[in-house]
Structure 1
Amino acid sequence: MPASTAPQVLPQNERPDDPPPAGKPQNRGADTRALTQVLFGQLKDMEPGSPEHCRVRGALIEANLPLVRYAAARFRSRNEPMEDVVQVGTIGLINAIDRFDPERGVQFPTFAMPTVVGEIKRYFRDNVRTVHVPRRLHELWVQVNGATEDLTTAHGRSPTTAEIAERLKIGEDEVLACIEAGRSYHATSLEAAQEGDGLPGLLDRLGYEDPALAGVEHRDLVRHLLVQLPEREQRILMLRYYNNLTQSQISQELGVSQMHVSRLLARSFARLRSANRIEA
């Protein structure tokens, strides 16, 4: 390759994200933009996938990593390891480098920043949330969060729900829903001990034994067996054990003898026992 087209990659000790040497003050941002412009000029004349192309592309990535770190710093409040956020942002940077066209007259940082931030936001949307929330609610939560910060700065206190709703021209119910959606970034274990108040964990405070739980299986079994009986026998069982009528009262209700009611009950029990899959 001719010397004029050879990639001019800076040595490790002079890369743009390193501190400038003592006695040589310089605008690192301007130097990075200038280096980026030169590298893109070299990249367009190279065959994609060639060793030279990969080397210049790698130099572009490394030269613009400060841009990724700057974008990642906006997400420090998410309590996600910053190394992971930077790695995700670097993917966005690589995508921006591959799509960038210097001939459009747009500065690369201006073009790349939305791609980097978008990649990081997509990561939080799809991978970090403990509970998935609808996209519209998530996008509105971003606006609520921004309005909360602005109003806190303006008033010197935390804003009320009504103030946030008025600022965004939405209902207070939507603001409350967005705040609840924002909590989906973090989950608390039911077994976690409460800090400061000395109370037991959520599991001990919220959990209880349902006394009707043990009868669920039996109720399901009875329902399954009852439908196998004739309609008249079903009615007799309902009157006897759900309405608590005596055999005499049932006989008067149905217009039959008490002895006949007794025989029908005995026959129903025999059928239920024979169909009971548990006792069988």
Structure 2
Amino acid sequence: MRNVAKATNNKDKLIDTKELFREYKETKDRDIRNRLIENYMYIVDILSKKFINKGIEYEDIYQVGSLGLIYAIDRFDVEKGYEFSSFATPTIVGEIKKYFRDKGWAIRVPRRIQELSKKVNKAKVELQQRNQKVPKVIDIAAYLGCSEEEVLEAMEASQGYNTKSLDITYDNDGDDKQVKLIDLMGDEDKNFSKIDNEDFLNKFMKTLDEVQIKIMKDRFFENKTQSELAKELNVSQMTISRIEKKIVMKLRQEYEKI
């Protein structure tokens, strides 16, 4: 008897929900939509939990999923005979995945580079499985039909995804006290403070080309940002970053010869 009563209640609830959808479609009454949202928030909760521990807080995922639920309610046509849960699930999941794609990058990266980064990661796996060795940049570029410069840019950009807070704590082995990530990071190389010899810098500058000289002067002496330099030179920020790294590496090598 209990099972019969429960089945009857579920059937009545289903009928009531369908009537609510019909009424909302005709009137667009916000109170009715709110009732429908309350009825189906459990779907958002279930789907949001599938995306936790992926670098974005559950509350943010849940909020985006709730928007997806609202979109699904607005588009749902009860007369087509679909179950609402089946209709709403891909809409909610789609909004969550879109949010991860757009907001998961800690450093704002153009969509073109984000998409290329995914292709590069996939190509690396496929080429390694095929050739049984780690592919080189030139191999990935040939596989994807793009330039090595684009592959390098995508690989560097991927480092801007899901960065960690400097306040995150770790257990300290042999000690009950926890330490923060910022405490584990290396200090600035103190040897650079000794590079104040004008003769050394002048000689070093002669080993650089015109673009490298400009980047060195503007970055290290004028405190310009990489973005500002990228605009001035009409190149990507990643290109400025790579050139800057080469300059620093070369500077270290020259200094070690002293």
> TM-score of the superposition, structure 1-length normalised?
0.45
User: Which structure has the greater CA radius of gyration?
Assistant: 1
> TM-score of the superposition, structure 2-length normalised?
0.48
